[in-house]
Amino acid sequence: MLGCEEGPVLSATIVITSWNNPEGLRFAYATAKAQTWADTQIIIADDNSSDPRVGEYLESLPDDKNLVVFNSGISEEDRPKTARYATQINTAVQMFATGKYLFFLPDDDWFMPNKVEKQVNAMFVNDWDVSYSSQDVRQNGTKIADRIADRVLLDAYNIVDHGQVCVSRAAFDAVGGWSDDPQFWSGADAYFWLRLTDKGYKFHPVVDVLCTKTVRDGVQNKIFSGRKPWL
């Protein structure tokens, strides 16, 4: 196994996307901060949350050279015009990311402490541009499903959740980042996977359970029940 002494060659960036979920954001950040991989940058991309507790929490964070916090400043009028979490990820990566390897952490999910270490090592050793780990899915504190990383995927569309995935910066740039057209509100990650597979990138498994997804009344649930995701 490799170590962080490799320096920038093996640097990683975790992009945390956040909107009006102060408790989830607090926990997601804590798990990103707890990574065993020292050369890890964290970007918190807040989409102009209206809940004042989000702003209060972000202002309470100490200065850290490995932490970037930015607010989109998006207006409520403009919010429906793009799939916001995809737009936020693109902005975070294009403007602020320094890592060679990119991870995506929604504010209702969390990472195991060795998430970055396990996937970066596997990708470097095997010369992969995309990997995905196994994931627990929980609702109200109870595990309801497992997503198992047990095979190479030539097409990950609607199979893999974005908390499972690590993508090299080179692959991200090669496909032009995430699709953020508003029609992709319900699954911008799936369309990003399509971009990657269309370019010939394979999703390589790291079998360990390295992340947890919490099912809540978020964007996808609202869309599937006929509601607007930004309300």
Q: List the CATH number of the domain containing 118.
A: 3.90.550.10
Report the number of distinct structural domains present in the chain: 1
Q: How confident is the model at residue 185 (pLDDT cuts 50, 70, 90)?
A: confident
In a domain, 72, yes or no: yes
Mean pLDDT of 58-66: 95
Percent pLDDT > 90 in the chain is 82
Ranking 90-94, 119-123, 141-145, 226-230 by mean pLDDT, the lowest is 226-230
- C-alpha 37/C-alpha 147 separation (Å) is 24
Whole-number Cα distances in Å, 128 to 23, 114, 202: 34, 18, 8
Strand partners, 214: 138
Mean pLDDT computed over every residue of the chain: 91
Does residue 32 sit within a domain?
yes
pLDDT of residue 223: 44
Who's near 189: CB < 8 A, 6+ residues apart?
104, 160, 161, 162, 165, 178
Q: Evaluate if residue 12 carries a pLDDT over 60.
A: yes
Rounded mean pLDDT, 129-148: 92
| pLDDT band with cut points at 50, 70 and 90 for residue 212 | very high
Range of the domain at 151: 4-135+147-214
Mean pLDDT of 124-138: 97
Reduced to 3 states, what is the DSSP secondary structure of residue 121? helix
Q: Are 91 and 72 in contact (CB under 8 A)?
A: yes
- Amino acid 228: pLDDT: 57
Residue 141 lies in a domain: no
131 located within any domain: yes
Distance in angstroms (rounded) separating the CA atoms of residues 184 and 86: 9
Q: Tell me the backbone φ, ψ of residue 173, rounded to 5 degrees.
A: -70, -35
Q: How do residues 20-55 score in pLDDT, each as one tens digit?
A: 999 999 999 999 999 999 899 999 999 999 999 999
Res. 4 pLDDT band, cuts 50 70 90: very low
Classify residue 177: in a domain, yes or no.
yes
Whether residue 153 contacts residue 203, with contact meaning beta carbons closer than 8 Å, is answered with yes
Q: Is residue 228 part of a domain?
A: no
Instruction: Output the CA angle 196-199-205, nearest 5 degrees.
Output: 45
The whole-angstrom separation of Cα 42 and Cα 65 is: 10
Mean pLDDT, residues 155-165 taken together: 95
In a domain, 229, yes or no: no
157 in a structural domain: yes
Higher per-residue pLDDT: 194 or 184: 194
Q: What is the pLDDT of residue 5?
A: 42
pLDDT band at 224 (very low <50, low <70, confident <90, very high): very low
**Residue 72 in this model has a pLDDT that exceeds 70:** yes
CA 94/CA 1 separation, integer angstroms: 30
